[in-house]
Structure 1
Amino acid sequence: MHAALWLVVALLGVAGCLLVLGHELVALVLVLVYVGAIVVLVLFALMLTRAPIGPDLAHAVPWWRRVLAGLAGAATTGLLLAALLPLAGEAVERREVANAAVATELFGTWVWPFEALSVLLLAALVAALAVSRGAGVDTSRGGGGAA
């Protein structure tokens, strides 16, 4: 569940990068399609699996690995800030982006793969629902239902 929610944060970060680059349409499509649909589908599938909720003590990470991960994250943040802060004061040359050309490519050339992906995700959703409902077989006793 946490990984799916962090995926939302990562995708919003990518959308922010696309906004900075001047591709507003692609950023909007990314937020609408991926954050608005794909992540909701992943969360719905996670809720259907009836996975145990709570901390998983079998895969707990030792404290020193958490500290190392925090230090690695802080070092990466420092490196990015050291590289990007000197650029913050400079004037940025903004070129005109042809949103119509991007929209034509996205909804012209790539519309069929996009639709195929939506059908595949719909099939996965229906399969997850069918698996979660079961076939009426009682598996709690270890048998096939016939006593």
Structure 2
Amino acid sequence: MTSLDIAFLATGAVTIAAALLAVTTRQLVHSALWLVLSLGGLAGCYLVLGAELVALVQVLVYVGAVVVLVIFALMLTRAPIGPSAEHSTSRLHRALAAVLGAGVSALLLAVLLPLAGREAVARTPVDSSALAGDLFGTWVWPFEAISLLLLIALIGAFSVSRLAGGQTGGPS
């Protein structure tokens, strides 16, 4: 085993552990924070594999935007920080989810394990400057326009939630 293999296994183990904790914890905020670690670990896996641009996009889009949006939605809806009976499921539902997860894992292993014994594919270095040039040259203004539109929608949702909270007599 090379040092890259060991680094990949370590980041993969952290990613899997954080993903399992993200879906099994009973506290919503802790789940979102475990999701941050899981997505960051996945970006680490991409870095070890030599896909720096994909790792950067993973951090920017998923860790930087999606998780922040989830945490913002939790704060906006005033979701309880600790465990609550409203957000809990029955043991039957948890058992069915575990069986379904085990079935999907078994299917994935049945497909991927036969591929593990094959020889390693020769890796060719890829220059991502052309993709980066297109992404940050040609498509930068549409990307910025979409981000501005999403920011306006987020501010509008926040304003509407505050207005609706004030009209119904709820806490503001």
How far residue 123 of structure 1 moved from its aligned partner, in angstroms, is 0.9
The amino acid of 1:129's aligned partner reads F
Provide TM-score, normalisation by structure 2: 0.59
Superposition RMSD on alpha carbons, in Å? 3.6
Superposed, 1:1-147 pairs within 5 Å as 1=28, 5=32, 8=36, 11=39, 15=43, 22-52=50-80, 54-55=83-84, 57=86, 61-89=89-117, 90-134=119-163, 137=166, 139-140=168-169
Higher gyration radius (CA): 1
Q: Which runs of 5+ in 2 are unaligned?
A: 1-27
User: Mean alpha-carbon deviation: is it higher for 132-141 or for 33-42?
Assistant: 132-141
Task: Give the count of matched residue pairs.
Answer: 140
User: Mean alpha-carbon deviation: is it higher for 123-132 or for 66-75?
Assistant: 123-132
The amino acid of 1:45's aligned partner reads A
Provide TM-score, normalisation by structure 1: 0.67
Q: Residues 18 and 138 (structure 1 numbering): CA distance in 2 closer, same or farther, change over 3 Å?
A: same
The amino acid of 2:110's aligned partner reads A
Q: Which has the higher contact order (CA 8 A, sep 6+)?
A: 1
Where 1:94 maps in the other structure, the secondary structure is: coil
Where 2:104 maps in the other structure, the secondary structure is: helix
More helix by share: 2
Q: Which runs of 5+ in 1 are unaligned?
A: 142-147
Q: Show CA shifts across 1:51-87 (max 9, x none).
A: 4554354x75443332222112112222323332343
How far residue 48 of structure 1 moved from its aligned partner, in angstroms, is 2.1
Q: Give the Cα separation in 2 of the matches to 1:91 and 1:78.
A: 24
Q: Residues 115 and 23 (structure 1 numbering): CA distance in 2 closer, same or farther, change over 3 Å?
A: same
The aligned counterpart of 1:144 is: none
Q: Percent identity?
A: 62
The amino acid of 2:152's aligned partner reads A
Q: Residues 92 and 75 (structure 1 numbering): CA distance in 2 closer, same or farther, change over 3 Å?
A: same
